[in-house]
Structure 1
Amino acid sequence: MASLAGIIVGTLCLVVLTRLVWRYHCKQRAPVPPRPPGLPILGKVNDIPAPPWLKCSEWCREYGTDIIRLNMLGFDIIVLDTLEAANELLDKRSSIYSGRAGLGWNFGTMDYGDDWRVCRKMAHHEFHATSFQKHRPILARRAYEFIHRLTEEGRDRANIMKVTYGIRVFLEDDPFIKLAETGQEAVSKCPIGFCLVELFPILEYVSAWFPGAGFERKAAVWHEAATRKLHVPYADFIERHASGKAEECVSKALAETFGTDEDVQSCARRELEGVLGIDRLPTFEDLGSVPYLDALIKELLRWHPIICFDLPRKLREDDVYNGFHLENDSIVSHS
């Protein structure tokens, strides 16, 4: 009986001593970032609406800080709300903020370590700015093949109308498809460089009824077909856009991006035509000759990136930022 009492007393003393040591350790280190209250175990997993970064920014303003801590299913998630915090931790201290989920061989999700450094070295050697130029012919060939397929298949024409103007078309007997085909036929039938009017510009002033002036009548038909191909689908999009019924498409993105500056697209087109003329497609070698278009593409990719691959990081050791203690193995993300 005495031995049992001794075990109980010893256990209680050990618990108290452990608690005192833990409290002393907590006092010695910096406090953790503020954490919004949540449910036990679940944490805030059921209380973050879409888009989540807006709610996180609201919490940061509420606590008067640029960093907060969330608990979701037992995982600590550190959310950075300012560019300064993201640069300081994810860039300047990247050596301890480069941890990943560790999902096998995938370079993008591989945890930081020797294997990651080897893969990073190989990727840099093959895909850095200078070495990557050897892959340009492959990319250009695939781009040309893609454009060719778009102009060959009826289904792909439907895809063009949907992607460009947000128009849903029928694969057979659709007025928009017929309009596009008629316009394309007009362009293909126009014998550039072989019309008499190009050889003798004065014939431009000859009336269409004059004998031998058949090119005037043909040109009028071709011009109308090409003009309708250009303006009718866009007018349909403008009508739907004004009524708030326009779906996501290239025209909608361009309208939202450049709607306040009507000269942007025309300037890009003039620059491109000045370099290419009308007899060839652009290549990578033309990049240095079209600075305006190059800047325009970069801005579009910045504003509408093709894919967002900014995965959360994992802290590899304890750290301190702005007086807050950040624990090892915490997931770090930015809003």
Structure 2
Amino acid sequence: MRKPNLTINDIAKALNISKSTVSRALRDTHDINPKTKLRVLEFAAKHDYHPDILAQSLRSRSTKTIGVIVPAYNIPFYSTAIGGIQDYAMKMGYNVIVCHSNEQYEIEIKNVEALLNAGVEGIIISVARDTEKNEHIKKLKNKGIPLVLFNRVIEDFKSAKVVVNDYYGAKNMVDYLIKTGCKKIAHITGPNNLLLSNNRKEGYLDALKDGGIEINEELIVEGDFTIQSGIRCTEKLLEDNEGIDAVFAVCDAVAFGTMKVLKKRGIRIPQDISVAGFTNEPMAELVEPSLTTVKQPIYEVGETASKLLFAQLKDPDLPAELCVLETTLEIRESTK
């Protein structure tokens, strides 16, 4: 049977002092006798006293907690981004509750409700791949809950947002592929309801235009963000087209799927077909051949999202701010 938590009242009775004196000692205020404070602290430590956070939050109307919703735990991007969010939140004296939507809009709605019920003071969200409506996000805004969208954001929704420069990251990568001699470059996109997918696609298209390469819609296939999607889309591309000399994938996981198909078919990477991704997941350096990719400042994305949220907690009237972080190319063995 679990032993009940020691309370301030228990300490006060044991030491024959008032509850307010115990409270001041535990809060380390200046208006208390040092010897009395020492007695309280020693007694609290000896009996493993822990403050009742819930009771404190009810009195102060502050839970010192923020919520984070991500599409999935198993996407390396989010584990790193959560690290950036949490590290900054801890510096500010806050805890973090993390939920994941499993890439489902309906679960994302339930995540929002759960976090509101937990009394979080603000929420940071990266939306699921099938999130097209934003009523649940509007609900947060209407309630005055500080909100930041990051990575996967809703384009027409006014809120603080943190993204990377998806357009230029993609354009710079395709520019590079063209410079290496690639002329028939396929692109596996992400879901077309997501801003980052469209921005990366636009970067791809503009790079082709600038390189004097005619756009072929048959070389563009919509997928999602999984290895399975990369496998499926690459098989379709190879069946429907001849002479493809490069594949630019919306993310590294999709690129891994592409590489798996090419290897299975005996197609050499990069001698026959170059492969490039976007994100710079840890596995990108470990696969064979190592993957050329667009490197995102992932930790900084999370940290920036956290900073924007705490800025809103301090000043709820701050205007919605869009932070765009730059990317770099990580050239490895999968391209010429």
| TM-score where L is the length of structure 2 | 0.21
Q: Which structure shows the higher strand fraction?
A: 2
Q: Relative contact order (alpha carbons < 8 A, sep ≥ 6): 1 or 2 greater?
A: 1
Q: Which of these two proteins has the greater Rg computed from alpha carbons?
A: 1
